[in-house]
Structure 1
Amino acid sequence: MACTAMQFPAKQDRFICIYPAYLNNKKTITEGSKAVENPTAMEIQDVGSEVGLNVFLEKNKMYSRKWNRDVQYRGRVRVHLKQEDGSLCLIQFPSCKSVMLYAAEIIPKLKRRTQKIGGGDQSLQQGEGSKKGKRKKKK
């Protein structure tokens, strides 16, 4: 059962905050390989909304330990975990950690990530093949 869509409530203790730096494998101490290379707040929002969580993207918020003020690294996602009566919105996500582990697992499988990686590799392979045909044989 998913939480109903609602306005940002006055009681913010039912929401958790997830910054992209929490999931970045270059910045955080992770459990095994459960991290993503340079995730964005938009990707975290997409994963949360696809599974049925009530998520809000705050574009102008920044992680306080982040020294880079670039627009690419901005953003924070608020995830609604508990309803007003204290029950969980989705049973499979009882804590912040469970949401972050799920996001770290799904973000690499997003279409925009797979298209960027796949397109680059194909062009490199084609370039290498054409170079091999142009070499002259030595006698």
Structure 2
Amino acid sequence: MINSWSPDKKHSEVERWICIYPAYLNSKKTLAEGRKLPKTYCVENPTHQEIRDVLVASGLHVGVENKLYPRERSKEMLFRGRIRVQIKNDDGTLVKPEFPTRESVMRFIGESIPKLKTRQNRPADQQPQTTHQASNKSKGKKGRR
């Protein structure tokens, strides 16, 4: 395997940007399945579009790649996408002082995704359906006994 990093590569080159997969921030995943943060900072099933929207709004340079996380079992389009983020300038200084590390960027994403307009309506829409389905299943089991 050839190491692509070399000291003469600049921080502005996309290969040097940090990578973030949606699985890193998915509260439905375990640490073994690829979650990188405590569940308190994670969101349920984030998408690469939501992550991109949050980072672009914060003023960071972002790139989206059509890649699948290696630990991801599902090959669906919903789980595809790798986000690249530039956190350092060519001279080594931070692009944004509030984002010194990969973890700080991921925590910001986890705090910001629930505030998106697309997420504001989702929990209310999905809540009655899941409770309704659960009650139907329990009724069906009682009738079979």
Residue 49 of structure 1: SS of its match in structure 2?
A: helix
| 8 Å CA contact 1:34, 1:105 repeated in 2 | yes
| 8 Å CA contact 1:17, 1:76 repeated in 2 | yes
| 8 Å CA contact 1:24, 1:39 repeated in 2 | yes
| 8 Å CA contact 2:14, 2:86 repeated in 1 | no
- For residue 57 of structure 2, the aligned residue among 46, 50, 62 is 50
Deviation at 1:67, TM superposition (A): 1.0
Q: Which consecutive segments of 4 or more residues in structure 1 shift more than 6 A?
A: none
TM-score, scaled relative to structure 2: 0.71
Deviation at 1:100, TM superposition (A): 0.2
Structure having the higher Rg: 1
| 8 Å CA contact 1:82, 1:89 repeated in 2 | yes
Structure 2: where are the runs of 5+ without partners? 1-11, 32-36, 130-145
The answer on 1:94 being equivalent to 2:100 is yes
Aligned length: 114
TM-score, scaled relative to structure 1: 0.74
Structure 1: where are the runs of 5+ without partners? 1-8, 124-139
The answer on 1:75 being equivalent to 2:81 is yes
Percent identical across equivalent pairs? 44
